Structure 1
């Protein structure tokens, strides 16, 4: 027994020593917050101040030193995030995390963004190249100054690879993949719809909007015309072609955002007021990094550039924010930024393809995907002058993908010039030339001006072709002819209403809509609600903007509540349906966490939409057995039109009538929810819409992973309302600011500022974001100060 006790004590001691060693190693990988460091690569001292949230204020004597210092801070706080983003864009994740990442690498490596961006950086002008080089040196210096590797690399058994010049461009590439469909799968699906169904059905399913639209220019579109019974009769289909699942509770999440603003005529200060909440995947730490950058203004002697907002680790500037003169904000544009090109191969030589200039040889690039702990994988990428061959048309013709991210000029640092701008006009001019995923940009300046345009490069399409379908560009004057002249960009300045808003739905019409295109605009309910909230007041402060951002009223869902109530009126004595009817009486009209009625109406609507649209998918499956509907942003518009008119020929097979379809949808939802513990009465919205925001490696650590996650609380809000919120998707930030009055603004961030669980900034500010509590836009009192000094020569 004495021996066993000694062995047990020894084991406990060894475990404690191991835990102590782990703690010491983790502690060594924390960033330096105070004191002074002497580093090569600087021309003058730089001061890095941090407040209680970890907001970094960087003060430098020139922009080059500031880029170095920002890279230093980003690397010390967020290098693993930066590494994941550059690798995901380049198709190099498996080299870090192993074979689990191979499917993503196989999709992304064919774009060859690392090679393309390395070439672009080599050709960049001296000023841009100098900023990239200084940021690179700062990142690598920050990494080297850590006492140990970032903790994620210890867990993975890896050593972080140094930062390279093109890696900052790859961060932009990662955002392209997040905000665009890099595989252009939506258009491949529409090609099959076009090949399998009559033109009227294709036109119906590809509608760009409807009566719920709230465009800045033009009127809402009319409800799309239903196909006639002679063109399509779904009742004749085999019911076995339907694929609707019984569980309709999948969240509706699309990368998007809200941005809106009011001109100075509607504020007390006379400055424009801008608000923004960018809807993206949520994680620990959050995507954005709070920062304030201060350095002498090269354009105005004696004045400092003082720009605050959110930076994107991996890039050397502020993405969204205010510089005391101008504030700007983004939402995803959902324009059409990629086209499929039909490739005609030479019958006598399959390595050649036809162009308007004759036959050209397909270029083949061997790519090696390295796999940590596994066998490397070889990949041959075949490229044309328009892009890599990545798909096939409905008739099996090879397709090359033309995508703006891979075009020369698709990624650059021009957006950084916004920090020097003095007016809204100047910001818009910069935005139109910036190489970034094209966004709606709303800008307001200190003088009260308010403007909208597109930030990012727009391809100049020539020839009469449908960009939603694969086209033959081997004919003269068909395809893309460089970039659209910025002077031709859509632009709205100082509207009579003094208000602007964008929320991923259609913004303009006619010729401007043709320039931007449509890659799946969102249903207009969210835009309409923001517009109406803005019209409800004549004077605005920052708190009014937050009230709009937190608006979780389910206005458009009220009509679905009415449909469900009417449906349940003939439901009989089914206990689950009776329970559903009872819960509907507590309808509050909000997507609040305690609401059972909201969840019931939401799931019923989702089941009806899926069921109705799957009838069209079934019609396509007659010709293409594995067909799945693409993302249809106007699904609500289409189904509203169908259900309102109750066209018998658009009733999916297996249903006796529209009343029968609605009742069976309600029954499926009720039975699914009632079978869970506590029955329907326990199925609150907060039970389903529960926060699931965690570090990317949390799931790999089952015992301690919960310490790498934010609290799992119910979240109010949902799709199709200003407060967009899912379990791991939603407002990655919320801000409102009037330039020149930044002290009155707010900035909330999800997920915290640091990725290190021992950092005082881990999860900092997340609770305010959860509660919708405004955190000041500008940094708080300085708590830590680190000075970086140049190495003497």
Structure 2
């Protein structure tokens, strides 16, 4: 017994020592990774003191005597709270992840080096006018001045064993380019169609599997202006552009897989605005919730920036100056993706000495890149450049005769998109707002607008190619010069509206213009469900207030579930249990709350329905609801290939869905099955650290609900959603609100790392602009 007591005391002592070491280590790391947020900090490069104020939730207010110092101070605040995120972002854009992450990041680096995004950012900076270059310089200098103070570094730097290098202007602009990449993903759809051709599918079958936007679905602009009804400069006549099927699908599969490793922002976004006649405040109300990939930390940082000549409040991108979405003293704006097609793939006719273009042989321009690899040998890369752009098929060593070059407006050497976001932050009226937006190159976005005078408006700016008749932009086309872009949509023909008679404007990535608009912007519009639901809610009452907008932003009624109700009604269940759930689903109101059991069963059934053409398309799930609805209601070759009717397939799918749920623990509430997951990105690949950095929370909705909850069919985990919510009451700043998931800080040991997540998850909001400051840091020259 005495020995046991001694052992017990020894183990208790060891446990106490371990606890002391753990607690001590925790507080050591906490104290050595958190930035200074109060007092004074001397920084070289300022002309006058700058105040950085933070409230109890970490919301930031930067006050400066001039714009140079303002954007310098914004950079310091960004670096204090998001230095690792900014480091990771610039390494993505530069194709330099393998330097710190090792061999696993080489394929992504190869792809981005081939694209030449960083090179395009360098060229863009060189071509900026002096006033824009001054903004980028001020922001870059602010980051470097902060780094020169030898500040505490976030934990990721310690774990990966390196320190950040000084920043360059291209490091700033490259994230603008990467956001353009995220939101301009048409070339992936071209690759997908090209891959389906390689599998032997006809273009007619591919179009059936990827149906277009319904003719009777809502458009953002409801009528074509008289001045645009006249024919534009007509595209040159021609037949349909030929697209020879590729030799084998393996390399196309591989290239598409590499492209899909990069972030994608094409899932969804909502914004809308109502005029004073529809508002309880007597002034316009504006709402926006951009839906992007969920991440830890958040993609946004919320800020108020104030100087004598610039005062804007809203969502900012760490790594970039200015406010992206928000308001100033006179106007407010919201942004969703227009998804205009600004990318094309060209099949090059390769010959000895280069490729054939306009009847002559053109040599490739060769660019050589060296990718440093942590723990490994450098990788040498030879990039071939054509008149269209880089040959991206070289990333996966495509066979001879299969060279695909990417044309993309964001790779052009001149890009003043920065001027658009800077200008709208200073705009005081519709004319100034639209004039600023015409500087935007890519990605083309849907901007809704409101001002204190009671006006509302909409504009979708961007440099959008005009294609020859027969070139839809859906498939790769021959790169012989015959199918080159003919020019770009003129400013006067961009989608726009100003004080429409309806008294409101809604955008949800749906089609922007009516069918008689003289220019085609894309064929890849989002499904109309969210736009239809928002309009349904906006028109359900004569006037709306900020609380109504909150309710609409958090609405989880699924028009997808409603659309599949007729299929469900016709379904003949295969089991008693399926019959019971059919009855429950038909009685269900299609409200996919986190507590809903019916939502879990419906979405599991829909996921099984999405397996219908898997043998044909070579993918386990095919999330094309318009195709699936037509197939289930009218029949389809995919059902014939299975030797059954499509309704028999639907009945079997319900039993498979219930069996799958049983394997996952039974029919549980949708939020439990479908958590919103915030992955760190880097530490997610370190299993022992994943739970420390990642976060998740129960969430409702689906890909097509207003409160969007897109998920992975294989896991039901939600990976895209509302990355920011804002509601602006023009003329009533006290009734303006904002929220974003996770928190303001990217430092995992900060109290603001994930303190906003519970608020976001339950649909709560904070006052826009923040509350009384609790910390004041003065930057001094």
| Shared fold per TM-score greater than 0.5 | yes
Contact 2:45–2:141 (CA under 8 A) maintained in structure 1:
yes
Equivalent positions of 1:188-587 (< 5 A) are 188-193=191-196, 196-210=200-214, 213-217=217-221, 254-297=266-309, 305-346=310-351, 349=352, 351-356=353-358, 358-391=360-393, 396-410=401-415, 412-414=417-419, 415-462=421-468, 464-475=470-481, 478-481=483-486, 483-510=488-515, 512=517, 514-518=519-523, 520-568=524-572, 570-571=573-574, 574=575, 576-577=577-578, 580-581=581-582, 584=585, 587=588
Q: Secondary structure at the match of 2:511?
A: coil
Question: 1:517 and 1:766, CA in 2 relative to 1: closer, same or farther beyond 3 A?
Answer: same
What is the Cα deviation at residue 475 of structure 1? 3.4
Alpha-carbon distance change, 615 to 55 in structure 1, aligned in 2, over 3 angstroms: same
Given candidates 706, 713, 726, the residue that maps to 2:697 is: 713
In structure 2, the CA distance between the partners of 1:381 and 1:704, relative to structure 1 (3 Å rule), is closer
CA apart distance, 1:583: 5.0
Task: Give the RMSD, CA atoms, in angstroms.
Answer: 3.0
2:245 is matched with which residue? Answer: none
Q: 1:24 is matched with which residue?
A: 28
SS of 1:713's equivalent?
A: strand
Q: Contact between 1:271 and 1:444, CA under 8 Å: does it hold in 2?
A: no
Alpha carbons 1:169, 1:411 under 8 Å: kept: no
CA distance in 2, matches of 1:218, 1:288: 32
Q: Is the 1:323–1:739 contact (alpha carbons within 8 Å) kept by the matching residues of 2?
A: no
Residue 472 of structure 1: how far off its partner (Å) = 2.9
Question: Could you tell me how far apart the structure 1 residues matched to 2:519 and 2:197 are?
Answer: 20
Matches within 5 A, 1:637-786: 637-646=626-635, 651-677=639-665, 679=666, 682-699=667-684, 705-710=690-695, 712-726=696-710, 727-786=718-777
Specify the SS of the correspondent of 1:79.
Answer: helix
Show CA shifts across 1:651-674 (max 9, x none): 331233233222222222222223
Q: Secondary structure at the match of 1:557?
A: helix
Secondary structure, counterpart of 1:642 in structure 2: helix
Instruction: Measure the CA separation in 2 of the matches of 1:668 and 1:766.
Output: 34
1:53 pairs with 50, 54, 57, which one?
57
Deviation for aligned residue 1:145? 3.1
Give a deviation string over 1:141-173, Cα, whole Å, max 9, x none. 223335432221001111112211111111112
Change (3 A) 1:394 1:479: farther
Q: How far has the Cα of 1:322 moved from its partner?
A: 0.3
* Aligned 8 A contact 2:118 2:174 in 1: yes
Q: Is the 8 A contact 1:173 1:411 kept in 2?
A: no
Q: Secondary structure of 1:475's match? A: coil
Shift of 1:631: 7.5
- CA distance in 1 between counterparts of 2:496 and 2:359 reads 36
Mapped partners of 1:51, 1:134: distance in 2: 25
8 Å CA contact retained: 2:607, 2:621: no
- 1:186 CA displacement: 1.5
Question: C-alpha separation between the residues in 1 aligned to 2:661 and 2:580?
Answer: 11
Deviation sequence 1:469-521 (CA, Å, 0-9, x none): 22234336x42255443233221222110111111222213364744122x32
Q: 1:601 and 1:13 mapped to 2: Cα distance?
A: 52
> 1:114-125, aligned counterparts within 5 Å?
114-125=118-129
| 2:38 alignment partner, one of 22, 34, 39 | 34
Match of 1:226 in 2: none
- Between the aligned partners of 1:566 and 1:254, the Cα distance in structure 2 is 34
Give 1:644 shift. Answer: 2.3
The residue matched to 2:460 in structure 1 has which SS? Answer: strand
Change (3 A) 1:16 1:211: same
Distance (whole Å) between structure 1 residues aligned to residue 616 and residue 215 of structure 2: 22
Q: Which moved more, 1:357-366 or 1:3-12?
A: 3-12
| Change beyond 3 A, Cα 1:725–1:556 | closer
How many pairs align? 726
Partner residue of 1:300?
A: none
Is 1:73–1:142's contact at 8 Å kept on the other side of the alignment? no
Alignment of 1:143-154 (within 5 A): 143-145=147-149, 147-154=151-158
> 1:30·1:146 contact (CA, 8 Å) conserved in 2?
no
Give distance in 2, aligned partners of 1:211 and 1:674. Answer: 40
Secondary structure of the residue that 1:257 maps to in structure 2?
A: strand
Q: Which runs of 5+ in 1 are unaligned?
A: 220-251, 298-304, 618-626
Change (3 A) 1:192 1:436: closer
Shift of the alpha carbon at 1:789?
1.4
Gaps of 5+ in 2: 224-263, 711-717
Secondary structure of the structure 1 residue equivalent to 2:78: helix
Query: Is the alpha carbon distance of 1:760 and 1:673 closer, same or farther for their aligned partners in structure 2, counting shifts above 3 Å?
Result: closer
> Per-residue deviation at 1:125?
1.4
Report the secondary structure of 2:727's partner residue.
strand
Shift of the alpha carbon at 1:259? 0.8
Deviation at 1:320, TM superposition (A): 0.0
**How far did 1:607 drift?**
2.0
Give the Cα separation in 2 of the matches to 1:122 and 1:19.
50
1:552, 1:316 → 2: CA distance?
34
Give the deviation of 1:683 after TM superposition: 2.9
Q: Aligned partners of 1:153, 1:553: CA distance in 2, in Å?
A: 43
Instruction: Indicate if the aligned counterparts of 1:263 and 1:498 stay in contact, CA closer than 8 A.
Output: yes
Contact 2:489 2:519 in 1 (8 A): no
Q: 1:636 aligns with which of 602, 625, 645?
A: 625
Q: Please report how far the alpha carbon of residue 254 of structure 1 lies from its aligned counterpart in structure 2 after TM superposition.
A: 4.7
Cα distance change on mapping 1:585 and 1:385 into 2, 3 Å: closer
Q: 2: distance between equivalents of 1:689 and 1:485?
A: 44
1:106 Cα shift?
Answer: 2.3
Further displaced range: 748-757 or 534-543: 534-543
- SS of the residue corresponding to residue 285 of structure 1 reads coil
